[in-house]
Amino acid sequence: MNGYELTRNWFNFSFENHEAKVQHTALFCWIVELNNRLGWKKEFGLPTIDTMEGLSIGNKNTFLAALSDLEKWGFIKIIKPAKNQYQACIISICCSESATAQGTALDTALIRQRNSTGYGIDDGSVPIDKQLNIETIKLINKETIMGLVSVEENIPILRKLQEEILTCLPIDESEVAEVVSYLNQKTGSNFKPETKETKRLIGARLKTHTIEDCKNVIETKVAQWQNDEKMKTHLVPSTLFNESKFEKYLNEVGQPKEKSDNPYEGIYKTNQQLIEEARAEHIAKHGTFLNP
C-alpha cells in the first residue's frame, strides 16, 4: 500500500467518524510522509519534539492522545513507546480494516456533489499548467535523530496546511454547549453557547483539543481564581479560551498549587467568608436578606 492509498483510507475513515479531529489527520499525514522519506521502512522512529513542533501541537498530552487514538483505530502500531520527550517512539503503519471498504460514504458524497453541480473532474474549462519549478526539495538539516532525517524545511508548509484544514472544519455545537454548561456549573454564570464570540473561541479550541482538555482548564482556573475578587472576573470564555492563553492554562493542569507565605492560610476564615456564610444561612431560613 502506497502513501496515496494510506491517506485515502484515512479520509474515508475520518469522514464517517466524528471522533477523528484535525490533530489526528495532521499526525497521520506526517507519519506517512516521514516513512515515505525513509523508503517505507517496516518500523521507524517518530521523535516527539520534532513532530509536536512540526504540527504546532503545544501540549504533550494532546500529542500522546492523538497517537494512541491512531493505534486504537488500527492505522499504526506502537512497537516501543518513547521513554521521554527527547526520544523517538518506534512505530509501524498498518492497513486499517475499518477504512478499506469500497464505495465509502465519502465517495458517495463526492459523487452526489458532482452530479448536483453538473461539473466533474473532466468538465473544467480552466487549463492545467505544469509546475515550472521541478527541482527536488532538498533538506537543509540532514542530522539524524534515532535514524530519522529532519524535515525542518517542511514545517512552515505543514503549519499552513493545518491552518487551512482548521478553517474548513465545522464547529460541533453540541461539544461547545457541553463546555459552556460545565463553565456555568463551576462559576455560577449563565453564558450562552450560541453567542457568536463564545461559539467561535470554544469551537476553535475543540478543533485541536478534547472536551476534557477544556474542562480541565476551567477546573484549574476556577480553583486558582474563584476566591480572588479581582481574578474571578476573568473566568469568562474570552479569557479561558483565548488562542494565546489556552495552551498556557492547559499546561498548568495538574501542577501543585504554589505554597503561600501565610502560615494561617486554610486554618482561619476571613471576615468576608464569615459574612457570606451568615448571609447564606439567613437566606436559607428566612428567604431574604436585607442589607443594613
Could you tell me if 158 and 86 lie in one domain?
yes
Question: What confidence tier does 141 reach under pLDDT thresholds 50, 70, 90?
Answer: very low
Q: Is residue 158 part of a domain?
A: yes
pLDDT above 90 covers a percentage of the chain that reads 35
Q: Is pLDDT above 80 for 135?
A: no
Q: Is residue 250 part of a domain?
A: yes
Could you tell me if 50 and 157 lie in one domain?
yes
Q: Mean pLDDT for the chain?
A: 77
Could you tell me if 95 and 237 lie in one domain?
no
- pTM here is 0.43
Could you tell me if 208 and 153 lie in one domain?
no
Specify the number of domains making up the chain: 2
Q: Is residue 133 part of a domain?
A: no
Could you tell me if 163 and 177 lie in one domain?
no
Could you tell me if 204 and 148 lie in one domain?
no
Could you tell me if 77 and 184 lie in one domain?
no
Among 29-43, 89-103, 185-199, which stretch is predicted with the lowest mean pLDDT?
A: 89-103
pLDDT in tens, 156-166: 666 666 666 66
Q: Is residue 273 part of a domain?
A: no
Q: Is residue 110 part of a domain?
A: no
- pLDDT of 272 reads 59
Among 34-43, 90-99, 142-151, 240-249, which stretch is predicted with the lowest mean pLDDT?
A: 142-151
Could you tell me if 88 and 196 lie in one domain?
no
Question: What confidence tier does 281 reach under pLDDT thresholds 50, 70, 90?
Answer: confident
Could you tell me if 190 and 209 lie in one domain?
yes
Could you tell me if 42 and 150 lie in one domain?
yes
Could you tell me if 160 and 228 lie in one domain?
no
Q: Is residue 211 part of a domain?
A: yes
Could you tell me if 35 and 150 lie in one domain?
yes
Q: Is residue 34 part of a domain?
A: yes
Give the residue numbers spanning the domain of 77. Answer: 3-104+139-167
Q: Is residue 117 part of a domain?
A: no
- Exposed / middle / buried, residue 178 (Cβ in 10 Å: 0-12, 13-18, 19+): middle
